[in-house]
Structure 1
Amino acid sequence: MTYQTALLTLALTAFSAATGYAASLIHLPLPFMLGSLICSGTIAVFFAPRLPANYRFPMKIRTVFMVIIGVMIGTRVTADLLSSIPSMLLSFTMLTLFVFVAHGMNYMIFRRIGGYDRPTAFYSGTPGGLMESLALGEEAGADVAILTMQQFMRIIAVITMVPLGLSMWYGAPVGSASGQSLARAGADLHALPLVLLIGLGGMWIGTKIHLPAAQLTGPMLAAAIVTVSGAADLPLPQWLINLSQVVIGTSLGMRFAGLNGSLMIRAAWLTVLSVGGMLALGTLCALALTQLTDTPFDVLLISFAPGGVTEMGLVALSLHANPAIVTLHHIYRIILTVLEMSVMARFRPMNKP
């Protein structure tokens, strides 16, 4: 990394952190991630010509903070939660149906209404597997700029609409907007070396066995094993969780470089159709499952919301539900989505018309 790249990265992160803090003051959902994404995305869209040529946010820095988030979520997995997995089989079955129906619906929206070519429409419509969708879409010849924008807008829309919708339903903020956190009160940095060791080790193993989103799921599984076994305690302070969200949000926002206003407007209303349809479908699934299981409707709804694993975990916490239950559903959704599009890519290649 050059001195110029390091200085620019530091400046972008500082501006994004300030925007994230402002977002927290007005109680936006997932404020440090969403605020930083808005800040860096605005810079990428409107000031890209003033940035150094070919500047990219350093992925190694982003990876370290993704590892921290993964460990944080993994520490919420308990032995009691694992023993309850058989009781989730019905909701996992419904989630399987949700993934296939949602992907098919999204493909039709992006292909027929949006006018995207086949690979761009197919990989823009996946209800999960962000990085895998981008990688496979690029290999298939999709428009990477449009694909990136649609996938990020899906996540932004979900982490915004679901907490805001539930906040209006309950008449009070939920999730991170209510001050909920997955970090432990009073935690300091004494466990950080162990957190990084376990997290990076989990990421390495996850990458070797081809886990989807291995930067997140590998550390999450490794931390879960350590926590459930009682081998170590892995507390993390809130400010470090906030900083992790700022770095991740900043890196995501910088991917909007090169996009213009008309493309973003079209992507925005297509996102409203796509996410609105998926949330309606998820609501129907949640309503059906409330008749067949003892799981509350709101917990099921956030378990089916297609995006924002961390924010959905925070919403679950504000509803006095174990965020790891919600996270397990989202990890299953991501794994299933990656398997589905990988099989489709292998046996029915998406070629441009």
Structure 2
Amino acid sequence: TDIALLAGSAIVGLYVARFLRMPAPYLAGPMVASAAVHLLGLTHASPPAIVVAAAQILLGASVGARFAGLTHRDIGRVLRLGGIATLILLGISGVFAVGLNAITGIPFESLVLAFSPGGLTEMSLVALALNIDTAFVATHHIVRITVVVMIVPLLFKIMRARSMID
């Protein structure tokens, strides 16, 4: 019955997330719903390992499909620039994770994944695979995405207004 409750909450979470137009509704909705049923103490079940593995395979395939049609030179350039950006962002994430771990006692691994560059789906699956607090990691990424989606258009309006005045 725990698995049925978890599956049911995932389906309800998906539809609620789509209705609310949440970022990554196919991941965020079920994760938020799962967090809710776990926090309420209704279940302690985890998704079966085969389900997690299948999700990781689908995610990897979808990421790989995005490289179709690129030349080796294009891929090399993207990998080089992406690698540099990733190292810089991971360094910043690490500094914040060390500092917040010392202040709050929140596990370093959870903080690193919460602050690391990467998509909500990817970081959540990594957290799930490593048995790290997935709800904590996903919540940070959802907040980051939501803030960016809300603030960036506002910044563009401000920049556009200033350029028209000057």
TM exceeding 0.5: yes
SS of the residue corresponding to residue 256 of structure 1 reads: coil
**Whole-angstrom CA distance in 2 between matches of 1:331 and 1:314:** 19
The structure, 1 or 2, with the larger RCO (C-alpha pairs under 8 Å, 6+ apart) is 1
Counterparts of residues 73-152 of structure 1 (less than 5 Å) = none
User: How much is the aligned-residue C-alpha RMSD, in angstroms?
Assistant: 2.9
Q: In the alignment, does 2:119 pair up with 1:304? A: no
TM-score (norm 2): 0.74
Give the corresponding residue for 2:24. 213
Distance change (3 Å), C-alpha of 1:323 and 1:244: closer
Q: How much does 1:235 deviate? A: 4.4
Q: Note the 1:46-65 alignment, pairs <5 A.
A: none
Tell me the residue number matched to 1:191.
3
Counting only pairs closer than 5 Å after superposition, residues 1-353 of structure 1 correspond to structure 2 as 191=3, 194-231=5-42, 234-307=45-118, 308-315=123-130, 317=131, 322-344=133-155
Q: Which residue of 2 aligns with 1:12?
A: none
Conserved? CA contact 1:302–1:312, under 8 Å: yes
Percentage of identical aligned residues: 27
Q: Determine if contact 2:32/2:135 at 8 Å carries over to the other structure.
A: no
Quick one: distance in 2 between partners of 1:209 and 1:277?
34
Tell me the secondary structure at the aligned position of residue 103 of structure 2. coil
- Structure 1 gaps of 5+ residues are 1-188
- Compared with structure 1, are the counterparts of its residues 190 and 221 closer, same or farther at alpha carbon in structure 2 (3 Å cutoff)? closer
Deviation at 1:223, TM superposition (A): 2.0
Please say if residues 198 and 223 of structure 1, whose CA atoms lie closer than 8 Å, have aligned partners that are also in contact: yes
Normalised by the length of structure 1, the TM-score is 0.38
Residues 297-334 of structure 1 show CA distances to partners (whole Å, capped at 9, x for unaligned) of 4443333212222213444x3xxx64433333333333
Q: Which runs of 5+ in 2 are unaligned?
A: 161-166
Question: Aligned partners of 1:200 and 1:342: how far apart in 2?
Answer: 31
How many correspondences in the alignment? 156
Q: Which has the higher helix share?
A: 2
Question: Are 1:303 and 1:330, in contact at CA under 8 Å, matched by a contact in 2?
Answer: yes
Partner of 1:186: none
Q: Distance in 1 between matches of 2:46 and 2:99?
A: 37
* Structure-2 change in CA distance of 1:324 and 1:205 (3 Å): closer
